[in-house]
Structure 1
Amino acid sequence: MDPLSIVDIVNIAEYEIERPSYRDQIIKFKKNRRIQIGELVTLVFENRETIRFQIQEMMRAERIVLEDRIQEEIDTYNQLLPKLNSFSATLLIEVTDQAKMREILDSFIGIDHGNTTSLKIGDSVVYGEYEGGRSKEDRVSAVHYVTFSLTDQQVSQFISGEEPISFEIDHFKYKAETVINEMVRESLSQDLL
């Protein structure tokens, strides 16, 4: 997937004008790129459109107008784009009860180590690789970045949709699996073409 460049980004004045319709488009687009795994974990799969939206929103929120600062944001967010034959996702641990937030997050310590997160394509398993620096021995972030690197055969299997496809969390305190539907498979397949 080609990285974003400065020409893909509009200034914040132009963005304010296009934002309402663009935001609606992105919300609809993300619907088929969002997978709930159990009650507390969601994977949101990133691509050029989702990353462009994040950059534009960051520029808007932080009032970023200088070209070198915009380029810094682009460089940072481009790291979240999937590479060849891979998926890149933001994993969210969603806690709505503020009083239980620390307790619930602490129960996820270790989720970003070992083979806790996987993509299953029929009998084939692809383990997620987490970006480092998001947790400590006694703390875990509610947001993680995870990639799934597929072989050529797994890419073909995923695109064909002939085998069941699921995402699983197998952590000692949280176990859940979700089989994806056809609309999600089709949307994610575009990242592999």
Structure 2
Amino acid sequence: MSTAKIVLATRNEAKLTELRRILAASDLAIELVGLPDGEEVAETGTTFAENALIKARAAVEATGLPAVADDSGLAVDELAGMPGIRSARWSGRRDGTREQRDEANNALLLAQLDDVPAERRGAAFVCAVALVTPEGVERVAHGKLRGALLNAPRGQNGFGYDPLFLADGQTGTNAELTAAEKDAISHRGRAFRELAVVIGQVLVP
């Protein structure tokens, strides 16, 4: 069986590790490669799907290989679906480490929900993941994980808003789950498992 080489269009090391792990579990004959150094692509879309396609198309143009890209974020009910596509940049902080930016985003979100009672702290992690090929094939898969936001962070695993997010049916936040437990329920896990079927149909003989 031949192996298909696919570019994962992200330079976020935590996300890259997670995406590699999820796709590796699909047992497809694929070789996953990282995105080469270069300028960040402007995410000018108005939806997760549009931004995922923008990043995947740019990766195809840069490498000539099929590319997979995701765009994901947190949609908070009380904030009318925000931070949404602005989740990674919610606090406006662009300097410092990823951990420092995550901490700033979480702190701002907690401040915005400071007086919101538990019954109105519903939220969902949302993901759109796109496959784009040099031949022009484009496919998008979606995943969602419902839950609620806590009043303070818990857990040391995961990244982003994971320490604040308690998924429906769970007793620990996403940052308290093991990698395998998180992959089984996460928005990205669901989206990538759906896309793995497409990859098998489109790329793997």
TM-score, normalising length: structure 1: 0.30
Structure showing greater relative contact order (alpha-carbon pairs closer than 8 Å, 6 or more residues apart): 1
Greater share of residues in strand: 1
